[in-house]
């Protein structure tokens, strides 16, 4: 299983690590990455709208061990 994580670093602020809330788990890495990219773009855009200078961003999916589909 996979979960989304996003890191946003805005100038003058500490970097923020984000996860979905509630956390969603994906069985397919590619599907997880599609969701991560979409959410990343939305969050990055909203930071800019509120006047933050986004210095660096990253998104990916992390493998979560010991989970099943049940």
Q: What is the pLDDT of residues 15-25, one digit of tens each?
A: 999 999 999 99
Q: What b-and-e string marks burial along 53-66, b requiring 16 or more CB atoms within 10 Å of the CB?
A: eeeebebebeeeee
pLDDT of 65 reads: 86
Q: What is the pLDDT of residues 13-66, one digit of tens each?
A: 899 999 999 999 999 999 999 999 999 999 999 998 999 999 999 999 999 987
pLDDT of 61 reads: 97
User: Cα torsion at 25, 26, 29, 35 (round to 10°)?
Assistant: -90
pLDDT of 70 reads: 46
pTM: 0.84
pLDDT of 44 reads: 93
């Amino acid at each position: 299983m996979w979960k989304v994580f996003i890191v946003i670093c805005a100038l003058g602020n500490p970097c923020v690590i984000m996860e979905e809330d509630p956390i969603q788990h994906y069985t397919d890495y590619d599907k997880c990455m599609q969701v991560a990219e979409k959410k990343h773009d939305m969050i990055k855009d909203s930071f800019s709208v509120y006047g933050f200078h986004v210095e660096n961003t990253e998104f990916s999916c992390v493998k979560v061990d010991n989970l099943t589909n049940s």
